[in-house]
């Protein structure tokens, strides 16, 4: 991979050409806040929290670092009055959209937002429409049980026709990646509840712990060829 030389906050850095600036910052222990970025999935630039300033030649502009490719001679700044103002505004808007979200409240307060001046939504739950759950379900799990429905203010993440999804395997990966805790999932008495469906949990053949939905194990067995005998033993006992 060809390398490029750039600087972040005055620190000289060598990075892979085309690596995204947010990843370059994190690899070099330079903190940049984000909500819609995931190490495995990258980002599609939805939250706008990761803004930084970039100078090339005489030109300085504000960019979303999760989508800005590292290039020779780039000078990036991760903290400035302008950046702080944009991040505060983004967080204030997200907090107004999701007043129930503890994570957004925590981030907002840590960026100096003590209250929300905008009208608060009371129908969005904790969802910021970051798309991580949809992308995880599609590209990592491979089942595409989730999607976006509606437009404008009624746009939301849901299952097809808002019905319990036939294709969902109950793996919970969507709930795991969700940065705001919007997706409700709970396991009780050997049953997992998620997206309006109930999944019987498999008990480990050795220790008896309920560790994964049986349906998920059957899906893995079918797609990977692994035997159900092996899959029915929990990772700790394998």
Interface residue list for ligand SF4 (CB under 6 A): 127-133, 157, 177-178, 180, 182-183
Q: Is 143 in the site for ligand FES (CB under 6 A)?
A: no
Q: Are strands 75-77 and 3-8 parallel, antiparallel or unpaired?
A: parallel
Is residue 111 a contact point for ligand FES (CB under 6 A)?
Answer: no
Q: Which of 34, 158 has the CB closer to ligand FES?
A: 34
Q: Residue 35 Cβ, how far from ligand SF4 at the closest point, in Å?
A: 8
Q: Where are the alpha helices (DSSP H) in the chain?
A: 21-27, 81-97, 102-110, 132-135, 173-177, 214-224, 228-231
DSSP string across 42-73: B--S-S-TTEEEEEETTEEEEEETTTPBP-TT
Are 217 and 231 a contacting pair, CB within 8 Å? yes
Choose between 132 and 143: whose C-beta lies nearer to ligand FES.
132
Residue among 51 and 137 whose Cβ is closer to ligand FES: 51
Is position 107 an interface residue for ligand FES (rule: CB under 6 A)? no
Select from 162, 128, 130 the least CA-distant residue to 145.
Answer: 162
Closer CB to ligand FES, 4 or 90, in the complex: 90
Q: How many helices (H) and strands (E) does the chain have?
A: 7, 11
35 is an interface residue for ligand FES by CB under 6 A: yes
Smallest distance from ligand FES to CB 63, Å: 10
Size of the residue set binding ligand FES (CB under 6 A): 13
Please state the closest distance from residue 117 (CB atom) to ligand FES, in A.
22
Name the DSSP class of 179. T
Q: Residue 97 interacts with ligand FES (CB under 6 A)?
A: no
Does residue 46 bind ligand FES (CB under 6 A)? yes
Taking CB under 6 A as the criterion, the residue among 16, 19, 41, 45 binding ligand FES is: 45
- Rounded to an integer, what distance in angstroms lies between the CA atom of residue 202 and that of residue 209? 8
Q: Name the binder of 49 from ligand FES, ligand SF4, none, CB < 5-8 A by kind.
A: ligand FES
Instruction: Identify the burial level of 218 via C-beta atoms within 10 angstroms of its C-beta, where 0-12 means exposed, 13-18 middle and 19 or more buried.
Output: middle
Q: Which of 67, 8, 57 is nearest to 37 (CA)?
A: 67
Where do contacts with ligand FES occur on this chain (CB under 6 A)? 34-37, 43, 45-50, 64, 66
């Amino acid at each position: 991979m060809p390398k490029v030389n750039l600087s972040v906050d005055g620190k000289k850095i060598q990075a892979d050409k085309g690596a995204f600036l947010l990843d370059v910052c994190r690899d070099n222990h330079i903190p940049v806040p984000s909500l819609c970025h995931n190490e495995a999935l990258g980002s599609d630039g939805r939250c706008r929290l990761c803004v930084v300033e970039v100078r090339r030649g005489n030109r300085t502009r504000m960019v979303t670092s999760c989508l800005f490719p590292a290039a020779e001679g780039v000078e990036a700044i991760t903290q400035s009055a302008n950046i702080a103002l944009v991040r505060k505004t983004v967080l204030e808007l997200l907090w107004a959209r999701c007043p129930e979200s503890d994570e957004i409240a925590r981030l907002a307060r840590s960026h100096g937002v003590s209250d929300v001046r905008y009208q608060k939504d009371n129908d969005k739950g904790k969802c910021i429409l970051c798309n991580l759950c949809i992308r995880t379900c599609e590209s990592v799990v491979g089942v595409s049980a989730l999607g976006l429905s509606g437009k404008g203010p009624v746009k939301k993440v849901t299952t097809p026709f808002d019905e319990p999804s036939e294709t969902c395997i109950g793996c919970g990966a969507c709930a795991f990646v969700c940065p705001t805790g919007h997706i409700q999932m709970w396991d009780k008495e050997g049953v997992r509840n998620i997206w309006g469906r109930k999944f019987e949990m498999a008990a480990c053949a050795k220790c008896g712990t309920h560790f994964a939905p049986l349906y998920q194990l059957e899906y893995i067995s079918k797609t990977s060829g692994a035997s159900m005998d092996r899959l029915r033993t929990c990772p700790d006992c394998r």
